[in-house]
Structure 1
């Protein structure tokens, strides 16, 4: 089974758009929702292909993109809240991924520490 290049392109496009902070607040929920949905579809496809490393990368990238956007000074309060509200999607998926791995507890602890640093460093 080959990777769906259209899905990767959508993920890349949505990531860029989210990082550019160019969406108006009325479209922002849709943008973040589409981004999280695309990330989850991509991670599921990677899981079915037994590509754990790329699956982990995809989920971590989405998680920290949302977290960094949530603490960005250029983001409006509404945009920050939407990103915070949607953090659970990649975080839950990563938690499940790490729970199935031998050293998953350590990986999960490191992930939480890095996420905490992201929020408290700003």
Structure 2
């Protein structure tokens, strides 16, 4: 499954992340010392968000993949499709440089995602 993240929205997400990372970063379950980066989340659609600590009541900025955006697609369409490649309530770390490179090149981020070796895990390749 190919996921497309528009560069204009990535630019805003990166700006938000760089302003928030000095507060620290949230860790995923398998990270001992988190580094600034982004999470590819699969729950209400498929989206990227930064991993910066948030203030009480603050919501993280997100960028939905064009192919799995609940704001523009019927529920059953994006839900069935994301489930077909193991993307059910999962989170994968994406290094900050991946987003920085897309923004620097003024290019959308394209990720090829497939079901991983273990249930509930995804394999991600930058296109």
In the superposition, the TM-score normalised over structure 1's length comes to: 0.29
Specify which structure has the higher proportion of strand.
2
Of structures 1 and 2, the one with the larger relative CO (CA 8 A, separation 6+) is 2
In the superposition, the TM-score normalised over structure 2's length comes to: 0.29
